[in-house]
């Protein structure tokens, strides 16, 4: 069965500082990995996805993530935080394209706080 662990339910950074949100996964097969962002009272917006093409994935809003098989990690980074980045971030994994039998399995989420 697949699973996702997001280290840190809350992460606080200063505006302009590096953002690092951690995600570790467990999967019995090469996984599909995703990062979604959720703003207050809204649905999930896809930031980026890994589908075995390239290990460094660039997404929207300046975010990127690197797939490291040896570490079973898919950490999300952004060089310089902006106030508008404050939101909840979810890492998700699936063992089949589009979700499969168990759908997407999500981590518990990380609330990103941006200090002015």
Partner 1 sequence: KAGVTQTPRYLIKTRGQQVTLSCSPISGHRSVSWYQQTPGQGLQFLFEYFSETQRNKGNFPGRFSGRQFSNSRSEMNVSTLELGDSALYLCASRQSSGNTIYFGEGSWLTVV
Compute how many other C-beta atoms are within 10 angstroms of the C-beta atom of residue 95. Answer: 17
Q: Which two tokens stand for residue 97?
A: 């394209």
Q: Phi and psi for 94 in degrees, rounded to 5?
A: -145, 155
81 vs 91, beta carbon nearer partner 1 = 91
Cβ 83 to partner 1 shortest distance, Å: 22
82 vs 108, beta carbon nearer partner 1 = 108
Interacting residues toward partner 1 by CB under 8 A: 32, 34, 36, 42-46, 49, 51, 90, 92, 97-109
Is 38 within 8 Å of 44 (Cβ atoms)? yes
* DSSP strands (E only) in 2-116: 3-7, 10-14, 19-26, 32-38, 44-50, 56-58, 64-68, 73-78, 87-94, 105-106, 110-115
32 vs 67, beta carbon nearer partner 1 = 32
Cβ 43 to partner 1 shortest distance, Å: 4
Cβ 8 to partner 1 shortest distance, Å: 15
Cβ 58 to partner 1 shortest distance, Å: 15
14 vs 52, beta carbon nearer partner 1 = 52
């Amino acid at each position: 069965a697949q699973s996702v662990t997001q280290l840190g339910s809350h992460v606080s950074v200063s505006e302009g500082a590096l953002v690092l949100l951690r995600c570790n996964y467990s999967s019995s097969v090469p996984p599909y990995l995703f990062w979604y962002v959720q703003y207050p009272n809204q649905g999930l917006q896809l930031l980026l996805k890994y589908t075995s093409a390239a290990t460094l994935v660039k997404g929207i809003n300046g975010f990127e993530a690197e797939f490291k098989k040896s570490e079973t990690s898919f950490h999300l980074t952004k060089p310089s935080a902006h106030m508008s980045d404050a939101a909840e971030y979810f890492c998700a994994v699936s063992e089949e394209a589009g979700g499969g039998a168990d759908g997407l399995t999500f981590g518990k989420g990380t609330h990103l706080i941006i200090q002015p």
